[in-house]
Amino acid sequence: MQDLLYFFQQLINGLTIGSTYALIAIGYTMVYGIIGMINFAHGEVYMIGAYTALIAITGLATLGITWLPLVLIVALICAVLVSSSMGWAVERVAYRPVRGRHRLIPLISAIGMSIFLQNYVHLAQGSRNIGFPALIEGGFQFGSEDTFPMSISYIQITIFITTLICMTALSLFISRSRIGRACRAVSQDLGMANLLGIDTNRIISATFVIGASLAAVAGLLLGMYYGSVDPLFGFIAGLKAFTAAVLGGIGSIPGAMLGGLILGVAESMTSGYLSGEYKDVVSFSLLILILLFKPTGLLGKPEVEKI
Amino acid sequence: MKTSITKLATAVGASVALLAAGQAAAEIKIGIAGPMTGPVAQYGDMQFSGAHMAIERINAAGGVNGEEVVAVEVDDVCDPKQAVTVANRLVNEGVRYVVGHLCSSSTQPASDIYEDEGILMITPASTSPEITNRGYELVFRTIGLDSMQGPVAGSYIASQKPERVAIVHDKQQYGEGIATAVRDTLKDSGIEIAMFEGITAGDKDFSSLVTKIKQADVDYVYFGGYHPELGLILRQARQSDVDAKFMGPEGVGNKDINTIAGEAAEGLLVTLPPSFDQKEENKELIAAFDAKGEDPSGPFVLTSYAAVQLIAEGIAQADSKDPYDVAQTLRSGSFQTPIGTVQYDQAGDMTSFEFVVYEWHSDGSKTPVN
């Protein structure tokens, strides 16, 4: 019984972290699906989302506003607004001018952007860890106190539910809305979509904005969950989310979700049953194994040579 | 024509060399190397603040043998790669004495360069035993060793008679070194080590680790590493109702752990050098810090002050600016500093340095534990 509870506790830990990986991975996978480039500055957009949420929360606290739903909504709106305009600006400044050139050029440009944003936050906010207030505390407990009580905290539940809502909304948006349909058309054939009267520049901008908004949501959630932010916060998370996107099949939105969850669970199971030291070894070995047998990732479609 | 150009070049070269020598004669450059930025910059602040105070006071008292002491500051971000870069920069600037570095993993590669280039280095903060056990002539410290701090922590935990203890470290030289020393001490006392595990510095998610600690049902958790990780572990452990007592080395004992862990930092045990700022004989010096609006209570402020003072006194007593002569003087003498009487052994370690167990509070204050 105790071992079972322990297993479920580690599973919940893994799913929590995995769902936020998935939220960030969407940004990588959508951009790749549409223009075939890796937006390495995406992790930084996520970090800026977390900082903005923190600034908003602190600002509201100094104004004496502590009513939780209001604080969360304001923080969320601020984070999404700042991050998505950041996502839009990054695309305009660093990617649009070099679009259509050799593949390496936008890649270098993306890495440059990532370094720029990281150092910008270093300068503006200082390089120290800043504490993030735990707004949502408490949780449910299962099992007896003397053996091993399994606990699910409210923040973990919030993370699941928010991820679920975001993912469903995104899937509906992509499959039903006009812009969603245009996104799919652009990802299939950018030139043709252009000829058929789709404003491809606008669609590409929209992709960056959507990815950045989801990253901002993840930033707020993870900031609250972990309890601190620093300027390098986005780097590791971005790397993991990128791995999740590749694992699930880059370019595929359900793939990003699946990849995120698998990666999160693999990490927590490794630290739970083996040792935390092997966490990254196992998750990256998993990535290599999957790519060996399925080079396009779990749900990725093989790229058809266009004639 | 050709010869005259060569002659001219030689003349110019010689005069430049003379000029440089002339400048060097007027002042003594002391390099101060530590993190000004990065996740552990607050320790760097302590180091710079202590070293500045020492330089100001030495210059106010007429300098060293009438020469002014000048600080050359460099930022190593507590990153071993950056430490090598800045160490080379100090070499190029003609610095012959260095106070630094702070993180053991930075001090180690930098000290190789200093030893090769004939530069005397005193670290006010690095506690890894590796730094002084390589037979180097010019490497000293004004702080104790992990091999001293680990046993203090280990025997404190053992004295509380816990049934099971978990030990976690950050896989870095400093953290793993102390964690290993604590483990060995506990093993000798016959206490069961339920887990001994490394984490990755910079990680944010410790939920799996915390679950594991909870399941292991331990009484004490010892963490070898720095405050950014321990702060998060404390916070996440509190959220999961882990009731074990946490303990860490001086690398976790600063007020930033309170901003990360909040209430969860209450009751954390930390081994620190004794509060030199509380000593009666340092009253006048502490007043000088207060007058500047600086806080002398950090663990590395007065060790850095002492490092600068030792360099100055070493030069004055040796009556030579050759780092090898100064090193010789430091090894043979006995010096009165704000951190007590300093005497060195052959390795460059202080013959005695004390660590004390403190209990940390959620408001950032600390009280000694007996």
Same-domain status, B159 and B260:
yes
Residue B263, chain A, CB below 8 Å: the answer is no
Same domain, B139 and B44: yes
Range of the domain at B304: 2-144+279-338
Contacts of B37 in chain A (CB under 8 A): 122, 127
**Bridge partners of residue B343, in order along the sequence:** B334
Q: Does residue B345 form part of some domain? A: no
Residue A301 has pLDDT above 80, yes or no: no
pLDDT in tens, A54-71: 999 999 989 988 888 899
Residue B174 placed within a domain: yes
pLDDT digit string, tens, across residues A238-250: 888 999 999 998 8
CA–CA separation, A220 vs A56, rounded Å? 11
Q: Which of B77, B82, B211, B238 to mutate to test binding with chain A, by most A CBs within 10 Å of its CB?
A: B211
Q: How far is B14 from chain A (nearest CA, A)?
A: 43
Residue B12 shares a structural domain with residue B140:
yes
Domain-located, residue B349 = no
Mean pLDDT of A200-205: 92
Residue type, B248: G
Same-domain status, B34 and B69: yes
Name the more confident of A275 and A161: A161
Q: Do B205 and A226 touch (CB under 8 A)?
A: yes
Mark yes or no for CB contact B239/A131 under 8 Å: no
Residues of A in contact with B41 (CB under 8 A): 127-128
Counting Cα atoms < 13 Å in the Cβ hemisphere of B26 gives 5
Residues B113 and B54 placed together within one structural domain of the fold: yes
**Phi-psi domain of A64 (left: phi exceeds 0; alpha: psi -120 through 50; beta: other):** left
Q: Cα separation of B307 and A238, whole Å? A: 42
Please state, in angstroms and as integers, the Cα–Cα distance from residue A78 to each residue in A71, A85, A117, A221, A223, following that order: 11, 11, 18, 14, 14
Q: CATH code at B363? A: 3.40.50.2300
Q: Average of pLDDT values for A46-60? A: 94
Please give the Cα distance from A72 to A158 (Å, whole number): 12
Q: Give the tokens for residue B63.
A: 């300098």
Q: What SS3 class is residue B80?
A: helix
Element (H, E) at A45: helix A42-62
Residue B187 sits in the same domain as residue B265: yes
pLDDT in tens, A217-262: 999 999 988 888 888 888 888 888 999 999 998 888 889 999 999 9
Q: What residues pair up with B139 in beta bridges, in sequence order?
A: B121
* Chain B residues lying within 8 Å of A118, measured CB to CB: none
* Chain A residues near any Cβ of chain B (below 8 Å): 2, 6, 9-10, 13-14, 16-17, 122, 127-131, 134, 137, 139, 141, 148-149, 151, 153, 155, 222, 226-228, 230, 232-233, 236-237, 267-268, 271-272, 275-277, 279-280
- Strand-pair category, B366-368 with B356-360: antiparallel
Domain membership of residue B208 (yes or no) is yes
What is the least distance, in Å, from the CA of B236 to any CA of chain A? 7
pTM reported for the whole predicted model? 0.79
User: Distance between CA atoms of B22 and A125, rounded to whole angstroms?
Assistant: 43
Place of tokens 């010019």: B138
Question: Does residue B54 sit in the same domain as residue B121?
Answer: yes
- Note whether residue B351 is domain-resident: no
Kindly list the structural domains of chain A, giving each domain's residue range(s) and its CATH number in brackets, ordered by start. 2-125+152-293 (1.10.3470)
CB contact under 8 A, B239 and A153: yes
Residue A35 tokens, joined:
């223009």
B209 contacts B156 by C-beta, under 8 angstroms:
no
Count of C-beta atoms within a 10 Å radius of residue B28:
22
Cα separation, A151 vs A164, whole angstroms: 21
Inter-chain touch B39–A139, beta carbons under 8 Å: no
B19 shares its domain with B82 = yes
Mean pLDDT estimate for chain A: 88
* % of chain A exceeding 90 in pLDDT: 44
Are residues B319 and B290 located together in one domain of the fold?
Answer: yes
β-bridge partners, B248: B270
Number of structural domains in chain B: 2
Domain presence at residue B21: yes
Q: Which of A24, A8, A7, A12 is nearest to A260 (CA)?
A: A24
Higher-pLDDT residue of A75 and B354 is: A75
Same domain, B220 and B231: yes
Phi then psi for B31, rounded to 5 degrees? -80, 135
Average pLDDT of A108-115? 92
* B132 within some domain: yes
pLDDT per residue as tens, chain B (370 positions) = 445 555 555 555 444 444 444 444 578 999 999 998 877 888 899 999 999 999 999 999 999 988 999 999 999 999 999 999 999 999 999 999 999 899 999 999 999 999 999 999 999 999 888 899 899 999 999 998 887 888 899 999 999 999 999 999 998 888 998 999 999 999 999 999 999 999 988 888 898 899 999 888 899 999 999 999 999 999 989 888 888 999 999 889 888 899 888 889 999 999 988 888 888 889 999 999 999 999 888 889 999 999 999 999 999 999 999 999 999 999 999 999 999 899 999 999 998 888 889 999 988 888 888 7
Strands (E), B203-290: 220-224, 245-248, 269-272
Contact A233, A49 (CB under 8 A): no
Residues 6+ apart with CB under 8 A from B127: B104, B141, B143, B144, B145, B146, B149, B174, B177, B178, B249, B250
Are residue B110 and residue B21 in the same domain, yes or no? yes
**Nearest CA-CA distance, residue A86 and chain B, Å:** 24
- The reply to whether B165 falls in a domain is yes
Domain identity same for B263 and B291: no
Cα within 13 Å of Cα(B104), Cβ side: 23
| A271 to B239: CB separation less than 8 angstroms, yes or no | no
B279 touches chain A (CB under 8 A): no
Residues 6+ apart with CB under 8 A from B136: B111, B115, B348
Question: Which chain B positions have a beta carbon within 8 Å of A127's beta carbon?
Answer: 37-39, 41
CA dihedral A126, A131, A136, A140 (to 10 degrees): 130
Which residue type is seen at A5? Answer: L
